[in-house]
Amino acid sequence: MSPDEFRRHGHAVVDWIADYYARIESFPVLSPASPGEVRASLPAHPPEFGEPFENVLRDLDRAILPGITHWQHPSFFAYFPANASGPAILGDLLASGLGVQGMLWATSPAATELETLVLDWLAELLDLPGRFRSSGAGGGVIQHTASDAALVALLAGLHRVSGGATERAGVAAGRYAVYTSGQTHSSVEKACRIAGLGADALRKLEVDPATQAALPGHLRALIDADRAAGIIPALVVASVGTTGTGAVDPVRELARIARDAGAWVHVDAAWAGVAAVAPEFRWLNDGAELADSYATNPHKWLLTNFDCDAFWVADRGPLLGALSILPEYLRNAATDSAAVIDYRDWHVPLGRRFRALKLWAVIRWYGAEGLRAHIRRHVALAQEFASWVADDERFELVAPHPLALVTFRLRAGDDQTLALMRRVNGSGELYLSHTAANGKTALRLAIGSPLTERYHIEAAWRALSAT
Amino acid sequence: MSPDEFRRHGHAVVDWIADYYARIESFPVLSPASPGEVRASLPAHPPEFGEPFENVLRDLDRAILPGITHWQHPSFFAYFPANASGPAILGDLLASGLGVQGMLWATSPAATELETLVLDWLAELLDLPGRFRSSGAGGGVIQHTASDAALVALLAGLHRVSGGATERAGVAAGRYAVYTSGQTHSSVEKACRIAGLGADALRKLEVDPATQAALPGHLRALIDADRAAGIIPALVVASVGTTGTGAVDPVRELARIARDAGAWVHVDAAWAGVAAVAPEFRWLNDGAELADSYATNPHKWLLTNFDCDAFWVADRGPLLGALSILPEYLRNAATDSAAVIDYRDWHVPLGRRFRALKLWAVIRWYGAEGLRAHIRRHVALAQEFASWVADDERFELVAPHPLALVTFRLRAGDDQTLALMRRVNGSGELYLSHTAANGKTALRLAIGSPLTERYHIEAAWRALSAT
C-alpha cells in the first residue's frame, strides 16, 4: 500500500470510527450473535488475489458489527470499563505507523525514555509514593494487563525470597506460598499456576462480610501457620478495588504483616487506582509506600486504549534478577554501560510496541484537570444510581460503593437476580455482569464510558426496576 | 475528543504517517541519541490543563523522532524485521476504534470467531498440517510474541506430562527438563525461569558446525541421561530459523525422539515460518505434523504490525488444563455450553485486543499471491547479497542462507568484524546486528522491509565492502 493509498484508506477508516461513535447507540450493547454465526458469514478460505480495502470496511459493517458487544457504548456497565478515547486511539495509531520495537533502549531510545517519563508523570498524577519514580531504584513500565503485572510481581518476589536461587534451580513444590483476598481477580491464581507453584500455593484471605475487604488477622494466621511448616511467604497481593465488588483491602495492615515475613507486597489497583488523579480519592493509596510493586490500568478507567497496565516497582533489582538474559545477539554498548533501561527485562515478551505514545497523548489532551473531571463524573453518577437502589425496598446494596461500581441484588433471591440480569441484557439496551458476595449472587453496574450521561443511568435504573 | 475532532486530528495523523513513509530515507536508520537526551527534551511534569493535539504532533517531530531507530527504513537489516504495512496499520486502527475485549466469546463473538477463522486461513496459506485447524481438537490463537508462545507451550507440556498435577501441586524443582538448540532464542530459557523450572532445567543441544542446526543424537543422549536419573522430559523446542543464523533444526527427527519420551514438541518458526506461503519453502514444514504446537510471527516477516504471533496447538486440552480458571464474574451461558472458544484460557493475560482484524486486513489486501511475492522478493535479494559476500575473499559466510538472513564475517577476526559493524551502523545509512556462531562473531543482514529495493542492498554491500 503506497503512502498515497494509505492516506486515502486511512481517512476512510478514521471517518468510519468517527461515524461509529456518532451512531454507537443505534446498536444493541450485547451482541445477539449465536455461536458460529460470524464465521459462517465470512469466506472459509483466504483470497488468492488481493482485494480493495473497501471490501474490508464493507465486511466490517456486514459481518463483524453484528458480532460485536459494544464496550464503548454509553450503556455498557459490565465487567470493568475498557475506556477508549480519541487521543489514545491516535497515539496508538502513531505507534503502529512508526512500527518500532522498544525491547532494548538501543533499538529506539525514544520508546524507552518516553515510557519511563510518562510512568513518572502518571505516578505524580496519582500521588504515588516517591519510591516508584525512576529517579531512584524504582520505576515504571507498561505491561499488557494486570495479570502480567501479578505474574512478574510473583517472579520478583520469588527471586528475592530465594536470594536468587529460583532463577537457576526453580521452585520446589510446596515451598512457597502466595496470599490474596478470596475476592481477588483470578489472575493471582493464574500467576501461581504459570510460575510453577500450582494453585495449592495460593491462600485466599477471608473478607469482612460488610466491606468485602481482606482480613489482616487471617493473613497473619495463615503466614504464621505456613512459616511454622517451613513454607516461605513469597507474595502478598493487596487489592485496591476487587473485581467482584470493588472492595479496597487494608493495604497498610496487610503490607506490614507481609514485610515482617519477608514477602513481596504487590498492590493490584487495576481498575480503582487511576481514581487517585482526584485528591479526594487518594485514600486509595494508603499504605502504598510499604508496597514493592503497584499496578493500575489506564486501559480500564483512564481513557487509554487496551493494552496499558502501568506497573511500578520500588526496586528494579529483583525484577531484573528474575527476568534478565543477555544473549550475544542483543548485546550493545548502551546495555553494557548500564546507563539505560532495557524493558525486555521487565516482562515476559522480548518485542514490545511503543505503547507510551497513547498514554502520553491522553495525558496531554486531557491534562490533570480533565482526568480528574472524567473520574469525578462517573463517581457522581454511580452515587446517584446507588441512592436509587437504596431507596427501593426490593433491592439491597451488597458492598460499599465509594467509586463507580455499584453491586446490588434483588432481596427475592439469586434466581430472581440472575433472571433480571438476563432480561435487561437480552433487551440490548444495557449490559451488566454479575458476581458472588457472601455466597449470594449480585449484579455489578460499573460506570466507565466517556459517553455515559445521566440519562443513560436513569434508563438503566428504569429497566432494572421495572421488575 | 468529539467525533468531529477525532475526524480532524485523525486525518492529520494519517497524513503524518503517510508523509513519514514518504520521507523515511531522510532519517539515519540508527538513532544517534545519547542516554537521557529524549527525556531531557520533554517536560518533567504532566500538564495541568489539556493541550491541543497539534502539540503532540509537534513534539513527535521535535523530540521523539531524533530518538527513533527506524525499523521500517529500507536499510534496516538488524535483528529480524518487524514489518508494518498499510492494511495492518489500518486494521489495528479499527481494533482501537472498536475498543472491545475478546477475553470471552461472549464479550464480543466476532473477535473470537474472526481470530479462529483467520488462524485457519493462515494455516492453509502456510500448508500447515490439518491437525492445527480449529475443525478438530486443535486451533490457533494470536499470542503477543514467540516468547509467550514458548511459555504456554511449556505450561501445556508440563500439564500433559504430569497428568494435570502441576496445575495444583506446581513443579518440583529438578523434576522436569526442557531441550532446545544452543542457537535458539533466549525465550526458551526465559520460559523455563518463568514457569518455575529454573534455567538449570534447560538442556542446550549441540549444533552442526556447518548448518548450525541442532543434533538429534545429542537430544537422544540428553533425554536418555535425564530419564535414567528420573527426570521427566517436558518440552522439546525445535527452531525453524534460529535467531542467530536462521538455522533450521531437523524437526522430524527431533520430534520423533521427543514423542518417544512423552515430551511436548513445540516448533518455534517465529521468523522463518511465514515463508511457507510460497510452495518452494514448504520444506520448512517438514515434520510439523509431529509437533504439538507451532508458532510463527506475522509481525516479523508477513506485513502485520506487532504484536501478532500465530500459535497453533494440535490439541487444545492440555493448554486449557494448564490455564483455565472460571471465577463467578466470568461465568456465562456460552462458556457453560462449551460450544465456543474463550481465548482468555489460551494465554497469560485475561483482557485481549481484537488483533485478528489486522491480520485479516493484510491477507485480504495482499491475497496469497501478494504474500508469496513479498517473501520471494526478499529471499532473492538475500541470495544476491550472499553471492557478493562469497565472491569477496576478505569475507566468509558462516551458515546456510536459504531465506532472507545472511550471516557473514571478516576472515580477519572478531574485532575487525565488530569494528566494521560499528562503522556502518554509525554512518546512519544502514543498520545490522551481530551474533556468535562456532564461537566466532558474525554479522547478520536480515532483509524484511517492504520498502527495501535492490539498490538498498547494493548500497549496504558497498558500505560493508569498503573496508
Q: Is B451 on the interface with A (CB under 8 A)?
A: no
Using the structure block, give the residue that is written with the C-alpha cell 516468547: B147
Phi, psi of B393 (to 5 degrees): -70, -15
- Nearest residue of B to residue A2 by CA position? B86
DSSP-derived secondary structure letter, B171:
P
Predicted confidence at residue B270, as pLDDT, reads 97
Q: Is A5 on the interface with B (CB under 8 A)?
A: yes
Measure the CA dihedral B359/B364/B370/B371, to 10°.
20
C-alpha span between B325 and B355 (Å, rounded): 23
Sheet containing A405-410: give its strands across: A395-397, A405-410, A440-446, A433-437
Q: Please say if the pLDDT value at position A258 is more than 90.
A: yes
Interface of B with A in 284-323 (CB under 8 A): 299, 305-307, 322-323
Q: Whose CA is closest to B211, among B179, B180, B249?
A: B249
DSSP-derived secondary structure letter, B60:
I
ipTM rounded to 2 decimals:
0.97
C-alpha span between A37 and A43 (Å, rounded): 12
- Nearest residue of A to residue B144 by CA position? A349
What lies within 8 Å, CB to CB, of A273 at 6+ separation is A126, A240, A241, A267, A284, A294, A295, A296, A297
Q: Is A150 on the interface with B (CB under 8 A)?
A: no
Which whole-number Å values give the CA distances from A70 to A14, A180, A275, B7, B99, in the listed order?
18, 32, 24, 20, 8
C-alpha span between B130 and B173 (Å, rounded): 36
B198/A108 touch (CB, cutoff 8 Å), yes or no: no
Predicted confidence at residue B467, as pLDDT, reads 63
For A208-223, what is the mean pLDDT?
A: 97
Q: Which of A9, A172, A185 sits opposite B90 (nearest CB)?
A: A9
B42/A198 touch (CB, cutoff 8 Å), yes or no: no
- Nearest residue of B to residue A63 by CA position? B110
Which whole-number Å values give the CA distances from B246 to A259, B249, B289, B381, in the listed order?
47, 10, 21, 16
B144/A145 touch (CB, cutoff 8 Å), yes or no: no
B90/A51 touch (CB, cutoff 8 Å), yes or no: no
Predicted confidence at residue A467, as pLDDT, reads 63
Predicted confidence at residue B228, as pLDDT, reads 98
Residues of B in contact with A82 (CB under 8 A): 99-101, 351
A67/B144 touch (CB, cutoff 8 Å), yes or no: no
What the block records as the C-alpha cell of A21 is 461513535
| Beta-ladder partners of B255 | none
Burial label for A461, CB within 10 Å (0-12, 13-18, 19+), is: middle
What the block records as the C-alpha cell of B440 is 566466532
Query: Model confidence over A390-406: pLDDT tens digits?
Result: 999 999 999 999 999 99
Interface of A with B in 365-384 (CB under 8 A): 365-370
Q: Please say if the pLDDT value at position A451 is more than 70.
A: yes
Nearest-CA distance A322 → chain B (Å): 7
Residues of B in contact with A19 (CB under 8 A): 3
- Nearest residue of A to residue B153 by CA position? A194
Q: Give SS3 for A64.
A: helix
CB atoms within 10 A of CB A283: 11
Mutate to test the interface with B, among A96, A323, A352 (most CBs of B within 10 A): A96
Predicted confidence at residue B51, as pLDDT, reads 97
Using only the alpha carbons of chain B, give its radius of gyration: 23
What lies within 8 Å, CB to CB, of A433 at 6+ separation is A78, A79, A421, A443, A444, B329
A369/B48 touch (CB, cutoff 8 Å), yes or no: yes
DSSP A361-419: HHHHHHHHHHHHHHHHHHHHHHHHHHHHHHH-TTEEE-S--SSSEEEEEETT-HHHHHH
Q: Is B349 on the interface with A (CB under 8 A)?
A: yes
A50/B364 touch (CB, cutoff 8 Å), yes or no: yes
Q: Please say if the pLDDT value at position A228 is more than 70.
A: yes
Predicted confidence at residue A74, as pLDDT, reads 98
Q: Please say if the pLDDT value at position A276 is more than 90.
A: yes
What the block records as the C-alpha cell of B356 is 485478528
Nearest-CA distance B221 → chain A (Å): 22
Query: Model confidence over A107-122: pLDDT tens digits?
Result: 999 999 999 999 999 9
Using the structure block, give the residue that is written with the C-alpha cell 575487525: B416
CA dihedral over B210, B216, B221, B225, signed as positive or negative: positive
Q: Is B327 on the interface with A (CB under 8 A)?
A: yes
C-alpha span between A199 and B168 (Å, rounded): 4
- Nearest residue of A to residue B243 by CA position? A329
Q: Is B453 on the interface with A (CB under 8 A)?
A: no
Contact A85, A304 (CB under 8 A): yes
Q: Which of B17, B146, B197 sits opposite A170 (nearest CB)?
A: B197
Q: Is B84 on the interface with A (CB under 8 A)?
A: yes
Nearest-CA distance B369 → chain A (Å): 6
Whether the bond into A307 is cis, omega within 30 of 0: yes
Burial label for A340, CB within 10 Å (0-12, 13-18, 19+), is: buried
Bridge-based pairing of strands B440-446 and B405-410 is: antiparallel
Helix (H) or strand (E) holding A136: none
Contact A34, B71 (CB under 8 A): no
Query: Model confidence over B287-314: pLDDT tens digits?
Result: 999 999 999 999 999 999 999 999 999 9
Max CA pair span of chain A: 70
Q: Give SS3 for B289.
A: helix
Sheet containing A139-143: give its strands across: A139-143, A309-313, A293-296, A264-268, A232-239, A176-181, A202-205
Q: Give SS3 for A269.
A: coil
B166/A55 touch (CB, cutoff 8 Å), yes or no: no
Q: Is B60 on the interface with A (CB under 8 A)?
A: yes
Sheet containing B433-437: give its strands across: B395-397, B405-410, B440-446, B433-437
DSSP-derived secondary structure letter, A34:
P
Interface of B with A in 407-426 (CB under 8 A): none
A113/B51 touch (CB, cutoff 8 Å), yes or no: no
Contact B206, B214 (CB under 8 A): yes
Q: Whose CA is closest to B385, among B375, B397, B373?
A: B397
Predicted confidence at residue A337, as pLDDT, reads 75
Q: Which of A84, A101, A105 sits opposite B96 (nearest CB)?
A: A84
Predicted confidence at residue A184, as pLDDT, reads 75
Nearest-CA distance A357 → chain B (Å): 9
Q: Is A406 on the interface with B (CB under 8 A)?
A: no
Predicted confidence at residue B331, as pLDDT, reads 78
Mutate to test the interface with A, among B45, B76, B96 (most CBs of A within 10 A): B96
Each residue's pLDDT, cut to its tens digit, for chain B (467 residues) gives 999 999 999 999 999 999 999 999 999 999 999 999 999 999 999 999 999 999 999 999 999 999 999 999 999 999 999 999 999 999 999 999 999 999 999 999 999 999 999 999 999 999 999 999 999 999 999 999 999 999 999 999 999 999 999 999 999 878 999 999 988 778 999 999 999 999 999 999 999 999 999 999 999 999 999 999 999 999 999 999 999 999 999 999 999 999 999 999 999 999 999 999 999 999 999 999 999 999 999 999 999 999 999 999 999 999 999 999 877 777 788 877 778 999 999 999 999 999 999 999 999 999 999 999 999 999 999 999 999 999 999 999 999 999 999 999 999 999 999 999 999 999 999 999 999 999 999 999 999 999 999 999 999 999 999 96
Considering the entire predicted model, what is its pTM? Answer: 0.97
Nearest-CA distance A258 → chain B (Å): 22
Query: Model confidence over A330-358: pLDDT tens digits?
Result: 778 887 777 899 999 999 999 999 999 99
Between A174 and B234, the higher pLDDT residue:
B234
Q: Which of A78, A96, A116 sits opposite B93 (nearest CB)?
A: A96
Predicted confidence at residue A331, as pLDDT, reads 78
